[in-house]
Amino acid sequence: MKNFVREERTKKELTQVQLAEIINVSRQTIISIETSRYTPSVILAIKLAKALGKNVETLFEVERSD
Amino acid sequence: MKYLLPHCFKKIGSIIAPVGFVLWIGMQFGLVTKLLIFLFGESSATQSNSSYHIVNVFVAILSFFSFLAGIYFVTFSKEKVEDEMVQRTRLESFQFAALVQIIYIIICFLFILLFKDPGEGGLMLFFITTIFLFWLCFIGRFNYILHIKIIRLSKA
């Protein structure tokens, strides 16, 4: 699954730590999501989308291989 | 994960586990007796040999159980921020540790069957290493992934 979390976070001028604090997760989780090492649950994806002011569909993109 | 201890136990565990281990190793090499002789003298050592032995046994029990408790605290304590990714990493690390333990047991059994009888001491060593290998593999992998590998990924 492709995601645009890093791009949207930098647009909002948020650091990884700040974003992690907003959605109450660890910084490691944000890093893992941004580097596509970890696919978040639906709840976490919605929280991320809300924090970044985007829709889940624009933040996450399903690839053919998924 | 309702069985996890609060995060502060991780710090306590990471202090008492190595201290207990070093103390236990020191006791095995007779360092406690040497320290007692250094403090109270050789003559005193021969006179009160039984009291020195009691101190040794006490140190052995204390160090071994503080090592065990330390390992337990480090393994079963929450991270500062406990979220789904941390929980998944914990689960994967348990699976990894279990796999390593099974492979180790198979190799040890093959070694015992094919080559030699390990004797009572060898069997005891095998059981102790089997138990600790699991916990050490878990602690090593979990903390490596969470505190080293992911942070490196971020820098890259």
User: B88 in contact with A at a CB cutoff of 8 Å?
Assistant: yes
Substitution target from A23, A24, A29 for chain B, most B beta carbons within 10 A: A29
CA distance to partner chain B, nearest, from residue A21 (Å): 10
pLDDT given at position A51: 95
Q: Measure CB to CB from residue A29 to each of B83, B151, B153 and give the nearest one.
A: B83
Instruction: For residue B104, give Cα distances in angstroms to B33, B54, B139.
Output: 35, 36, 17
Give per-residue pLDDT as tens, B45-72: 555 566 777 888 888 899 989 999 999 9
- Taking CA atoms, A10 is separated from A37, B69, B152, in Å, by 19, 44, 19
Q: Which range (A12-26, A42-56, B56-70) has the least confidence? A: B56-70
Over residues A36-52, the mean pLDDT reads 94
Query: How high is the pLDDT of residue A49?
Result: 95
Give the chain B residue whose CA is nearest to the CA of A6. Answer: B154
ipTM associated with this complex: 0.88
For residue B63, the model assigns a pLDDT of 92
Average pLDDT of span A36-64 = 92
pLDDT for B44 equals 55
pTM for the full predicted model: 0.83
The residue-averaged pLDDT of A18-33 equals: 95
pLDDT of res. B113: 84
- List the alpha helices (DSSP H) in chain B: 8-28, 31-40, 42-47, 49-75, 84-114, 119-144, 150-155
B152 interfaces chain A, CB cutoff of 8 Å: no
Q: What is the mean pLDDT of chain B?
A: 87
SS3 of A54, please?
coil
pLDDT tens sequence across B89-133: 999 999 999 999 999 999 998 888 887 777 777 888 888 899 889
